[in-house]
Amino acid sequence: MKEILLALVLDILFGELPYRIHPVVWMGKWISLLTPPRTLDGRLRPLLRGAGIVASGMALSVVAGRLVERASHHLPSGMGFLLRATVLKSTFSFRALIKASDDVYQALSRGDLDMARHWLSWHLVSRDTRTLNRAQVSAATVESLAENLSDGLIAPLIYYRLAGLPGALAYRFVNTADAMLGYRDEHREWLGKVPAKTDDVLNLLPARLSAMLILLVGRFTEGQLWRGWRVWRRDAGKTSSPNAGHPMAAMAGILGVELEKRGHYRLGKGLPPPQADDIKRAQRIIRGVLLVLPLVLYFLRRQNRTGTGR
């Protein structure tokens, strides 16, 4: 548990590790190395290639995690503790998420919609942002805060509590593979199936826990618990992802805004469209979740140990 607290402090104070030594950068290089330059024929070949990428990457991540844990025990206790916390910090990002959303907020506050669109596409989303209006830019930013709370912070810490550094690194590899390959274009339709489905399975618990924490914290900071619960239960299944809709719908409900991705979903339908200030409100909820998360993770590991003992 102490490693989690130190890792969070390191992230808040220093942000991301240097590019050259960041484990996620090396994960991306491994995925790129195994990704075929041209579309593979049929369905089976790319499906098996995607499965191989996931299996090999998870295996290497587990080995790397075990090696770090083993090496840390041969160092002086303080240095070993710092090593484990530093590697754990590389699997999640809180400071960068807040900074990315704040860049969008600052641009909107200045009335610079083009710059807000730029920062949104640069930092947070892969969709075309060139025609989005202010409310749509605000909505996409709030959505990204909610979704990244789940897969960018809570999920890796859950897997660390359950399986140590091997679990956190293996989760981060799968999530990175999904981010790089999980698209439905001609080249990645079947190549990305296994990464996407594996990521879906691994995020089942984190997404729902994130939604509950958003409602819990939001109840005391921003909105109405009953409205948040109602929108979450009604709209969580409206996204194509089985998981992303949970934290996003909970955030829409607790803030009292409609989050819409044109042609895909409307979460909180009938509520007012979000404005720039709703980005700040969402940030406050994310920060509140960060404060209560260590306690939740403590009880998660304690319950896991109790169940194993039985």
* Of 179, 165, 207, 176, nearest in space to 61 by CA: 165
Average pLDDT over every residue of 255-279: 95
Residue 159, SS3? helix
Domain segments of the chain as ranges: 2-309
Convert the pLDDT of each residue in 186-217 to its tens digit.
Answer: 888 899 999 999 999 999 999 999 999 999 99
Q: What is the pLDDT of residues 4-21, one digit of tens each?
A: 999 999 999 999 999 999
- State how far the Cα of 80 lies from the Cα of 86, in Å rounded to an integer: 10
Eight-state DSSP code of residue 123:
I
Task: Give which of 152, 191, 203, 185 is closest to 32, Cα–Cα.
Answer: 191
User: Whole-prediction pTM value?
Assistant: 0.92
Does position 282 have pLDDT exceeding 70, yes or no?
Answer: yes
Q: What tens digit of pLDDT does each residue of 89-102 get? A: 999 999 999 999 99
Element (H, E) at 259: strand 259-261
Instruction: Tell me what the mean pLDDT of segment 38-59 comes to.
Output: 94
Determine the pLDDT at residue 299: 80
What is the average pLDDT score of the chain?
93
For residues 191 and 40, is the Cβ–Cβ distance under 8 A?
yes
Residue 91: partners with Cβ closer than 8 Å, 6 or more residues away: 23, 24, 156, 160, 168, 169, 171, 172
pLDDT value for 304:
54
Give, in degrees to the nearest 5, the angle at Cα 146 between 140 and 152.
110
What's the pLDDT score for residue 308? 47
